[in-house]
Amino acid sequence: FLVEESGKNERTVACFIKAPATALENLKCKIANDTSSLVVDDSEELISNVISIECSDYEKAIPFPINIAIPFTSCFRGNYREIMVKVTDVNFQSKYLTPISLEGYQGNHKENFAEVKIYQLGVFSVVSRLKKETFTVPNIGLLQKLSVDSRISFYYPPETFSSPAPMQLKVQPIEPSLVSTLKGRHDMYHSVVSTSALVYVQHPSAQPFNSAVTITLPCPPNPEKKRQGDETEHARAITATVKRVAMAYHSRAVSASVRKNGENLSDTLKLLGHRNKAEGWKVFDDVIIQNARNGLVSFELNEHLESFVVIRLSFLLENTYLLLFAQALEEAVYSTMANVILYRKRENPYKIVVLLSASKELTWELQKLHEEGYFGPPEPTQQFPLREGEQIHFRFRGNIFASENGKDFRKVYRLIFHSQRKPRLELQTKVVDEFGNHSSPHYKGTAVFYKITREMITKKWEQPLPYGEYEHQSPLCKLALTLPKHEKLIKRPQSTKRISSDSSEALWDNLLYWLAEELAEDNTSLLALCLPVRRSILQLVRLKCPDNLTHQIYELLCCWKKTLPRSADKQRLLSRYLRKSGRSDLSEELRFKWQNKVFT
């Protein structure tokens, strides 16, 4: 199915459907990316277009099952995640289908396809989600090591449950850099050394525990404590809290009961979790956590927890701060720091591109835009956190507005954030009042951006963009935008019209660009041209075209030409400067091209 994505004229492969020919005639397929916020959850990442498949003739039955293959692009695949096809019905109820295959040919197309067998129509998307491990605990007990990480294990003694109990687990790894970021933002988290993974457990039968379950999982030790003689950084904190640590250690209520391998006694292990989301995070002070070898820790649980995490501390931290840390950690896991980029096309400053980029990929995205011919100013915004499916709405204020299709101006525009996709809009800007900003050499405007969380989005399959609903909302950020002013053409009576010199001006523009290319090939510096221009002009040219010597030289020659009176012999003057710069060859060639009106 080749379809046109909304707002674009290009035809895109939406999906491949394998079904009887009579059924294919009655199927209607479209790309519905405007609704992508409604089809993802926190732990999911969208990696394909959102595809809506409907039956155009409801009187004719579709001979289910039929096969569909949706193209997708996944930048990051890890052992903790799996790729699934998500099916969402009209009432926003979702279920997951395991793909039959993830690669191969579909016709002449070879790329990644998620192919599934479907028994109903609806809205389809390919998502990357945390891998779900399912197992059943029998009466004789079970030692279950997780496939996503064999270091994580659950030991259920015999008769833990009165009858066989199904269990479902998901593991969200925590990057050390994420912990470091949280510590850098808040000094009160300084004592946090490391954390285990976040573990999510579903216990559908809800049977009570007849005996304790032993859980083992990795929680990295403090690397600083293992280095001999390198305890300077933590000496102050350890000295100040040694009495409290000793008391806590002897009471065995909150600290590890076994210390091995030379680990420092000031390290404390805490278990945090929640029985259900409504109850929120809680510190389980009565659970004794033991250090095992190779950075593993183990503890026993007598009750079911929906989620839990172990935190290693270099010195004691109040429970209030621990709870705040757990909340911040869970929020940060499902958030990505991002920036808004608004760049202009060098050849046509009235054409702009606006995109959302993950902060860790910002340098790469800017380089890619430079290769496409887009440059600042303005510079990208400061980074801010976004969750999967959250939206950035923006509009223009001041003397500049924009259009996606060249017709509808003064609109609100939308970018939907997905960490593995690159939301992007190419817009054509326009000036509201060409006589405005009369005291400035540029037209001025501002792009104002607003953050829209998933909770603020109405659950409707039609997602029109609002216009005047932001008055009571503070902007997320703003970017100032300027556009160059064009020289106005004044209509004069026939008797007062000036003799046109368009052909000579076009020739000069052509010659100056040819000259810039010739000089750039020899890596000629701007100062070596010996042109009588102010130093500020040189600085302006370098700022305007930082990465292209040809454009720098061309801009400098144009600036020099503008300073000359109409009656000046530009060719003779420029030839003299070229000879003075040691380029007599170009001086003669310039004279020949000017005299013979040669366009290069």
The pLDDT value given to residue 219: 94
pLDDT at 322 over 90: yes
Residue 539 gets the label, from left (phi > 0), alpha (psi -120 to 50) or beta, of alpha
| Residues 330, 539: Cα–Cα separation, whole Å | 48
Q: In this structure, is residue 345 part of a structural domain? A: yes
pLDDT at 433 over 70: yes
DSSP states of 262-293 = T--TT-EEEEEEESSTTT--EE-TT---EE-S
At 332 the three-state DSSP class reads helix
Measuring CA to CA, which residue among 377, 221, 376, 213 is closest to residue 299? 213
| Residues 15, 501: Cα–Cα separation, whole Å | 56
Measuring CA to CA, which residue among 336, 412, 337 is closest to residue 43? 336
SS (H, E, C) 490-521: CCCCHHHCCCCCHHHHHHHHHHHHHHHHHHHH
Q: In this structure, is residue 287 part of a structural domain? A: yes
Q: In this structure, is residue 600 part of a structural domain? A: no
The pLDDT value given to residue 235: 44
163 shares its domain with 303: yes
Measuring CA to CA, which residue among 98, 88, 167 is closest to residue 129? 98
Q: In this structure, is residue 520 part of a structural domain? A: yes
Q: In this structure, is residue 262 part of a structural domain? A: yes
Tokens coding 361 = 């990929």
Residues 44-68 have a mean pLDDT of 88
| Residues 178, 176: Cα–Cα separation, whole Å | 5
pLDDT category of residue 325 using cuts at 50, 70 and 90: very high
317 shares its domain with 186: yes
Neighbours of 344 (CB within 10 A): 22
452 shares its domain with 521: no
At 367 the three-state DSSP class reads helix
| Residues 392, 25: Cα–Cα separation, whole Å | 38
pLDDT at 576 over 60: yes
Q: How many domains does the chain have?
A: 4
Which amino acid belongs to residue 229?
A: G
Mean pLDDT of the chain, nearest integer: 83
> Using an 8 Å Cβ cutoff, are 45 and 128 in contact?
yes
Measuring CA to CA, which residue among 127, 182, 490 is closest to residue 317? 182
| Residues 507, 53: Cα–Cα separation, whole Å | 57
| Residues 171, 269: Cα–Cα separation, whole Å | 19
> Using an 8 Å Cβ cutoff, are 110 and 155 in contact?
no
Residues 191-211 have a mean pLDDT of 92
Q: Which of 298, 316, 333 is the last residue of a domain?
A: 333
Q: Indicate which CATH number applies to the domain containing 61.
A: 2.60.220
pLDDT category of residue 466 using cuts at 50, 70 and 90: low
445 shares its domain with 476: yes
Q: Indicate which CATH number applies to the domain containing 458.
A: 2.60.40.2660
Q: In this structure, is residue 493 part of a structural domain? A: no
> Using an 8 Å Cβ cutoff, are 581 and 530 in contact?
yes
The pLDDT value given to residue 132: 93
pLDDT at 494 over 80: no
254 shares its domain with 267: yes
Measuring CA to CA, which residue among 328, 270, 336, 280 is closest to residue 307? 280
The pLDDT value given to residue 538: 79
Q: Which domain does 286 fall in, by range?
A: 133-333
| Residues 444, 80: Cα–Cα separation, whole Å | 49
Task: Report the relative pairing of strands 11-13 and 2-4 from DSSP bridges.
Answer: antiparallel
The pLDDT value given to residue 547: 74
Share of the chain above pLDDT 70, in %: 83
247 vs 307: which has the higher pLDDT: 307
Q: In this structure, is residue 457 part of a structural domain? A: yes
Question: What are the CA-CA distances from residue 372 to residues 7, 147, 207, 361 (Å)?
Answer: 21, 44, 60, 17
| Residues 48, 116: Cα–Cα separation, whole Å | 14
> Using an 8 Å Cβ cutoff, are 556 and 531 in contact?
yes
Interval 115-169: pLDDT, tens: 999 999 999 999 999 999 999 999 999 999 999 999 999 999 999 999 999 999 9
323 shares its domain with 347: no
The pLDDT value given to residue 230: 46
List of residues 6+ apart from 230 with CB closer than 8 A: 224
Q: Which of 307, 333, 359 is the last residue of a domain?
A: 333
155 shares its domain with 282: yes
Q: Indicate which CATH number applies to the domain containing 584.
A: 1.10.533.10
Measuring CA to CA, which residue among 566, 559, 569 is closest to residue 532? 559
Question: What are the CA-CA distances from residue 179 to residues 87, 129, 174 (Å)?
Answer: 35, 22, 8
